[in-house]
Amino acid sequence: MEWLVSLTGMPAGAFGVFTSGGTEANLSAMVTAREHWRDRDERNSKTRGIVIASNGAHSSIKAMAKVIDADVLLIETESRLESSHLAETLSRMSAKDRRRVFAVIATAGTTNAGIIDDLAGIANICRSEGIWFHVDAAYGGGALAARSVRHFFNGIEEADSVTIDPHKWLFSPYDCGAIIYRDPELAKKAHAQEGSYLDIFSDEGAQGFNPSDYQIQLTRRVRGLPLWFSLAMYGTDRYETAIERGIDLARIAGRLISATYYTELVREPSLSCVLFRRLGWTPEDYRNWTYRNHKSGFALVAPTKVRRRFLK
Ligand SMILES: Cc1ncc(COP(=O)(O)O)c(C=O)c1O
């Protein structure tokens, strides 16, 4: 976890815990943000909150907003979410709705296209507006270890919370996500469960740190262990090499696609995502091709939609 936190560049005191995945990490962050917003102002105690994100945000944001009964305001963008989009959205809101905004969620590596939002600009607005800034780097977070693209993440160090899934681009087996907080005490306030039989787990005898206090789950397995073993075995440099190789492969694939007359690059590869179409194909053609590749053990290339259109 110290290594993950160091990749973000968040200040001393920031720390995190492992979760079942990005969905649970995002949920834990949203609960922390919402509780903090309510703690700061009594008037929010019965108000339904609003989370702002972009249309590129992962489906778990909408799903988890349902769990906490919050509204999600999605800003439509063709590419990355810019700070100007956020500023404009906030300025157009009524004073009443503006007070309901308790978090902005930027994505650092959208699942569909590998897009990284303008983290530094969004962080500035959140700071001056007093809004919790969460970065969902569930997929893209692995690339924090890759020097060639690290600058695209500038501003992540300003986040109040960051989701990174080691079970995505950090090669861990499934069931290993992580949520990192700038101020873990706020997470503890939101999540720590009370029960006289639980007190023993948080006293000094239990080293005073109980991961259950910082996310939604109480009884949990040692989720960070597979990542730790892998790091102990290979070392962090091997991670950087492997991630850089993934980024290179995406660029090589992009060049080959551009050079082939029957395929078209939809946008320049970003991180490890390569969006392309095969001219003239129908959704069925993509589906059949995906299954054929998968069943033969050759590759898993998932069909997707961009701007709600199938790539054809
Ligand atoms: C950006 C992003 N956030 C959250 C998630 C959800 O993660 P999980 O499937 O580990 O719950 C994903 C999964 O693809 C993702 O790409």
Exposure string over 49-87, b if 16+ CB within 10 A, otherwise e: bbbbbbebbbebbeebbeeeebebbbbeeeebbbbebbe
Collapsing DSSP states into helix, strand and coil, what is residue 162?
strand
**Pocket flag, ligand 1, residue 138 (CB < 6 Å):** yes
For 138-191, the pLDDT digits (tens) are: 999 999 999 999 999 999 999 999 999 999 999 999 999 999 999 999 999 999
Q: What pLDDT is attached to residue 180?
A: 98
Q: How far is the CA of 139 from the centre of ligand 1 (A)?
A: 7
Q: What atom of ligand 1 comes closest to residue 24's alpha carbon?
A: 11
Show me where the domains of the chain are located.
2-221, 236-310
**Pocket flag, ligand 1, residue 107 (CB < 6 Å):** yes
Chain-wide mean pLDDT for the chain?
94
Instruction: Select 236-310's CATH number: 3.40.190.80, 3.90.1150.10, 3.40.91.10, 3.40.640.10.
Output: 3.90.1150.10
Q: Confirm whether pTM is higher than 0.85.
A: yes
Q: Which has the minimum average pLDDT: 34-48, 123-137, 203-217, 269-283? A: 203-217
Percentage above 70 pLDDT, the chain: 96
pLDDT top residue among 203 and 126: 126
* CATH entry 3.30.530.20 includes domain 2-221: no
- The beta strands (E) that lie in 64-198 are given as 71-75, 101-107, 132-137, 161-164, 177-181
**Pocket flag, ligand 1, residue 58 (CB < 6 Å):** yes
Collapsing DSSP states into helix, strand and coil, what is residue 78?
coil
